Amino acid sequence: MSALDALDDRQREAASVLRGPVAVLAGAGTGKTRVITHRIAHGVDTGAYSPSRVMAVTFTAKAAGELRGRLRALGVDGVSTRTFHSAALAQLNFFWPTLAGDTAPTIIDNKVRLLGQAADAMRLRPSTATLRDLASEIEWRKVSMLSIDQHAALGRPLSGMTLEQFVELQRGYEALKDDRRQLDFEDVLLACAGMLEAESRVAKAVHEQYRHFTVDEFQDVSPLQNRLLELWLGDRQDLCVVGDASQTIYSFAGAQQRYLLEFERRFPDATVVRLERNYRSHPPILAAANALMRGRPGALDLAAVEDDAADAAVAPTLTAFDTETEEAEGVAASIAARIASGVSPSDIAVLYRAHAQSGVLQQALAAAGVATSVLGGTRFFDMPEVRQTVLALRGAAVAPNELGFLPTVRDVLRGLGLTDEPPAAGGAQRDGWEARRAILRLAEEAPATTTLREFADALMARAKDQHEPAMRTVTLSTLHAAKGLEWPHVYLVGWAEGALPISYATGFEQIDEERRLAYVGLTRAARTLSMTWSRSAGRGERAPSRFLAEIGTTTRGTGILREVPPSAMTGARRA
């Protein structure tokens, strides 16, 4: 069976071109990861690629782990699947001893702490919040490839510090790092790029090692990452980039969608494939997403795949509440009713613009008896209960037992406190119970021939790849953290001016970024989409988000959103 057999026509077109520059403009839910992995597998299967000569680059360790796992499932091992930073760090650690006669500098684990020490030396006492903001500004400066003086000339607004003080603070921060032989996260990319530019033998070695490059989420590339990619490529053009300009939501961190939008200008002979067949969402949801992005640079026109479920598709709903508390309670009541009707909590997500919105939602959901987990909180395999369970299972795997695999797993989990009935929703105890229950489900779903040692090893492999099992909880997440994920039922809360778009987004580019963030939220939903907003926040009155007007009407004047009263949210919804 060919690696291309499981692809649709457009996906197959993208995966079939193995040489030269390729740009895959992949809309939400169109199968971009499938294209990336099947393209690499096709290259290996046909002998066009040697796995060790391929580098697949993405932006998070979790995404890199997913690529690695999917390639392994296709029978491909040995491909370098890394983030930009991990690839650069590996090259620094490999070449630095030869070039400098010493080990590579260490990486600082807390930029804010070091900035605080530099501020102390200047007899400044900025708040922790100010230091965090300044750390973010330093990160933006570096990934934008600006010197301290070039950055100062931009006159970007700062909080809690004058521009002159910030310039001096940055110089002190850099001096501290130099004295301690340390690099920060962005220095890793800068140092690697500098090494490749200055040392021809290093560049030659890297060019010999890696011949074929794939870059996922190319719309999020910063000037520094793009420069490093150019240095990795050298004078070759075997580069495949995959991205969606409509999902550029990290401009504040230096991402520039122009590298994707201008790819054809840079490579006039590039193969460009547009993936617009959406395998995730029902047509009414895609209609809302398309309406929001119509006319924006690089926007794709997503079309749903027709299937039996399409007949059951319902228009996204919009509900207005008087207060944020009533909004949270209405969403919680709707979710509780949906779960009561048979929907799994893990199929439901509540998405919001800012972390500050999560508290009232957690409180309302706990009061409704609904267990939640916050995306972006403690990673599953870093939870104390999970680490304790994995260690106990590894210990049990080397001890003689006559119970068999699954009874032993149950026995270990019971010994660690897993009960048949969960504790009350909300709080650390419920979180730990849900985590251990997720491990038990993995054991129950494992093949009957699985041994305890194999299961423990599989958990360790999952931890390495950040392949977290689904917990039967409702997911709470910011829109940023939800990117790349999907749920059958999604609640988008806080669609009011000042929340989405957020209050400090004032210029055209900032509002456009907020629009793209809203688009990411819309396209996370597969079957139902419930949107809400509240007329007041504290003592202030608010207007509905301007994006609702853009979504609500198509160019033909046909309504897209269906307005429903708050009372309608409490009834059980169709699963």
Annotated binding site for ATP: 26-33
Cα(162)–Cα(167) distance, integer angstroms: 9
- For residue 141, give every residue at least 6 positions away whose Cβ sits within 8 Å of its Cβ, in sequence order, or none: 148, 151
Residue pair 130/161 in contact (Cβ under 8 Å)? The answer is yes
Q: Which two tokens stand for residue 308?
A: 């039996």
Asked whether the beta carbons of 96 and 104 are under 8 A apart, the reply is yes
**CA separation for the pair 26, 443 (Å, rounded):** 35
- The one-letter code for the residue type at 27 is G
Distance CA 434, CA 345 (A): 12
Q: Which CB contacts under 8 angstroms, 24+ apart, belong to 159-167?
A: 159/130, 159/133, 160/126, 160/127, 160/129, 160/130, 160/133, 161/124, 161/126, 161/130, 161/134, 165/122, 165/124, 166/134, 166/137
Task: Provide the β-strand partners of residue 241.
Answer: 23, 215
Binding residues: 26-33
User: Which distant-in-sequence residues (6+ apart) come within 8 Å of 420 by Cβ?
Assistant: none
Give every CB contact of residue 40 below 8 A, 6+ residues apart in sequence. 49, 54, 56, 71, 76, 79, 214
Positions of E strands within 510-559: 525-534, 536-537, 540-541
174: number of Cβ within 10 Å? 15
Query: Cα separation of 272 and 264, whole Å?
Result: 8
Backbone φ and ψ for 423, nearest 5 degrees, come out as -70, 175
β-pairing verdict for 536-537 and 540-541 = antiparallel
> Where does residue 206 rank: exposed (0-12), middle (13-18), buried (19+ CB within 10 A)?
buried
Q: How far is CA 328 from CA 63, 448, 499, in A?
A: 31, 44, 15
Cα gap 426→362, rounded to integer Å:
8
Which residue has tokens 């949906």?
338
Tokens of 223: 């000037």
Rg (CA), the chain: 25
Q: In Å, how far from its chain's centre is CA 52?
A: 26
Separation in Å, CA 472 to CA 135, 333, 381: 36, 18, 16
